[in-house]
Amino acid sequence: MNYFKKRIQSFGHAFRGIRTLFKKTPNALIQLFAAVAAVVLGFMLRISNGEWLAVIIVIGFVFALEAINTALETLADFTCNKEMHASIRKAKDLSAAGVLIASLAALAVAIVVFLPKIL
């Protein structure tokens, strides 16, 4: 039974992380707005199952990378007492670049899926 209790607790930690992401990360709120807009548009334009898969995957990818980016930045700030060392800056910049790349991929998916239906 201890195994199942620990699994349930791990889900609790993950949901606390999601709450923290949206409460403490302004970019996550912008991404949430974009995700909601994409889902609403998807229903309005009746996109196909394949298009839904692409939209869902890139939404999840962006949120996952934003969570990892926020975690890395939090740890980096903690370990260096907010003094910016060159290696810490490089790690934070690379992590932010990952989110940007995922966001650009999501934008490309949105253009491919939604633009032909709008025009």
pLDDT tens-digit profile of 37-63?
999 999 999 999 999 999 999 999 999
How many residues belong to the chain?
A: 119
pTM for the model: 0.88
Cα 44 to its chain centre, rounded Å, is 24
How does pLDDT run across 64-73, given as a tens digit for each residue?
A: 999 999 999 9
Long-range contacts of 44-51 (CB under 8 A, 24+ apart): 45/114, 45/117, 45/118, 47/113, 47/114, 47/117, 51/113
Q: Show me where the domains of the chain are located.
A: 26-118
CATH number belonging to the domain at 26-118, selected among 3.40.50.1980, 1.10.287.3610, 3.10.450.50, 3.40.1080.10: 1.10.287.3610
- For 25, phi then psi, to 5°, come to -120, 100
